[in-house]
Structure 1
């Protein structure tokens, strides 16, 4: 048996990270906990890796991810000297989509999917790399479809989105997965005129984006990334710039919510750069997210510049159409609140979140629970305990009707924040009310 070769690639990247062997081992152990693995690596394990021993296959992505997060850039397996299986088949986009959806439909596998790791090293395909790829659909497998089928898929996506807004994605996402496997995938394999084929690809991309958003809401962040990548591929094959940019922006939202500011900024900028001749509402939609990402990385000037751009664009959009759209004044004020908070202006953040609540459509129950609870957390932070309790009560009014991982997190945090204040009657009453929900929800 030949002697192992030292892994100079891993040594170089470890040096770039400015980490000791122990620090890398600790970071890998932490990432293991993120995806449900109990790891106990120490510096001796990393020493073996540097000497040329390969980590176990499930651990290799964790090593790569740990280094990518530390270096704040994508890191490839080849760069750190880890073998890559080149025999894997290059299945079509539709086949990959069906495999993903079937797993998501299976309750016995949902926990495994949900434990997938959120990766900052994820490679985002460029628009030009996606447009017109011939592997998208193999026609002739099913009956010919027409525009009425495209319209049906679009309408179904809108209905699932409404359910998600009202009740959260915990129950709606399996519906989306089932619909994608049983209806949309056969449509993608059907014969169709070119314009109808692209319309169906675009409709499928929208539905994949929605499934990714719902997965992120549930805290299944690795799964959400998989859905988002499928949405990007389908959008490129449909030549649908709007959904491609919307998906990149959604990926930025996911990253900023998880505290990965540099990746959030990169994705938000990519979404804005890829948006051709965006109208005012779309420009506000993109610039608001750029503002939040720039604020998180501490770029105050960039954050305020994009926030002003979003506000001006929204003013133009509202002047043209006096109805709420997908990005509306409530969403804009939410972004104001997040930017101000990231910049350390907590009182200004509370004002903006309060205005967002006033403007929000009644149907957006899940968003209301989460953002009202955020407002209460910030009221408590500046010492306004009684006001925070009143605000939290409003969040709890709607909470029992919403099945959402992010809302569960807000209620769990509320209970932890209230524990030091249980001598106050209002705080004790609120805490007791939240405990009555414990029998129906794991918070």
Structure 2
């Protein structure tokens, strides 16, 4: 058993909980169960820095190599280092900082579980991250986790839950920096479009675009991960859900051109989505070109979400196997699958 389930989550996870009870901020703060303090162990800001540094490094490994590679390290660090630090005595400011750092690490571990397609486990991590963030009185982190839960929910097709968590996250704090506001509004636009709320989707997308433009003008990189590339991805998703296939393809291509070079798993998934939409638009040759780009990198990641896109590619191209380009992609896929001895996606 993954040790983090026992030490932090308190039990094994089941199926994706569509009726999951998500605590509000005040409720999560009230529910937060303080760890029993060990008077012989003390921590300071150096230990907080150690946790944040390790989490940052694992973020890079997660996207470069996939959740199956990275989560065992994250789980071991959570059990062996983070949990004892949460038990240690510390001044109030250090305790709050450690709770925030732990919330980030637990959230990341949940994101890795999601990437593995351990979806029930991922949700349990996310709820624990909410409780840690609320215990730290850290509303921005609490909202970030809610937004991540929305991403997970829409990825699983649970649209109502995705809308609920995105809207809860987007109750933005008055002093939220513009890039963080865009980060929340972009997801809100995506789920609104998926639910058929065109007016809500366009309004949220407009807010996200304005916020990113303001952040770029001000040089605000406080929440630098929500880049113009990420914005273009969300616009692509909104257009796809609203029936604008050509616009969705155009926006995804622009997002790809703007994307940072190090994000391998992200490139695989977005190239695959781009290929699927090009095929749907009747652009088979272009779709095959995008799928070749997927296959160039796919063997280097261990990711359930990338496996899903690989399986979707094979299924989509089988009806076109008499086409030379499609056959070349399928032949490459067969060779890669044989070499990797992939387990069938669950």
State if a TM-score over 0.5 links the two structures: yes
Q: Distance in 1 between matches of 2:32 and 2:253?
A: 49
Shift of residue 220, structure 1, vs aligned partner: 1.1
Spell out the pairing of 1:40-119 with structure 2 (5 A cutoff).
Answer: 98-100=7-9, 113=13, 116-119=14-17
5+ residue gaps, structure 2: none
Q: Distance in 1 between matches of 2:6 and 2:255?
A: 36
> For residues 290-310 of structure 1, what are the alpha-carbon distances to aligned partners after superposition, in whole Å with 9 as ceiling and x for unaligned?
001100110101001101110
| 1:223 pairs with 2:121 | yes
Shift of residue 345, structure 1, vs aligned partner: 0.9
| Contact 2:32–2:134 (CA under 8 A) maintained in structure 1 | no
Shift of residue 134, structure 1, vs aligned partner: 6.6
What is the TM-score when the length of structure 1 is the normalising length?
Answer: 0.74
SS at match of 1:131: helix
Q: Distance in 2 between matches of 1:125 and 1:274?
A: 17
| Contact 2:32–2:132 (CA under 8 A) maintained in structure 1 | no
| Contact 1:202–1:235 (CA under 8 A) maintained in structure 2 | yes
The structure whose RCO (Cα within 8 Å, separation 6+) is larger is 2
Task: Give the alignment partner of residue 208 of structure 2, picking from 279, 286, 310.
Answer: 310
Match of 1:180 in 2: 78
Q: Distance in 1 between matches of 2:193 and 2:331?
A: 36
Spell out the pairing of 1:224-303 with structure 2 (5 A cutoff).
Answer: 224-273=122-171, 275-303=173-201
| 1:424 pairs with 2:333 | no
The alignment of Structure 1 onto Structure 2 pairs a total of residues equal to 338
Match of 1:442 in 2: 343
| 1:410 pairs with 2:319 | no
Match of 2:107 in 1: 209
| 1:151 pairs with 2:60 | no
> For residues 228-277 of structure 1, what are the alpha-carbon distances to aligned partners after superposition, in whole Å with 9 as ceiling and x for unaligned?
00000000001111110000000001111112111111110100116453
Q: Distance in 1 between matches of 2:6 and 2:215?
A: 35
| 1:379 pairs with 2:288 | no
What's the C-alpha RMSD, in Å, of the aligned pairs? 1.8
Shift of residue 132, structure 1, vs aligned partner: 6.1
Structure 1 ranges of 4+ moved more than 4 A: none
> For residues 163-202 of structure 1, what are the alpha-carbon distances to aligned partners after superposition, in whole Å with 9 as ceiling and x for unaligned?
0111111111111111010001000000100100111111
Kindly tell me: are residues 403 and 355 of structure 1, through their superposed partners in 2, closer, same or farther at Cα, counting changes over 3 Å? same
Match of 1:166 in 2: 64
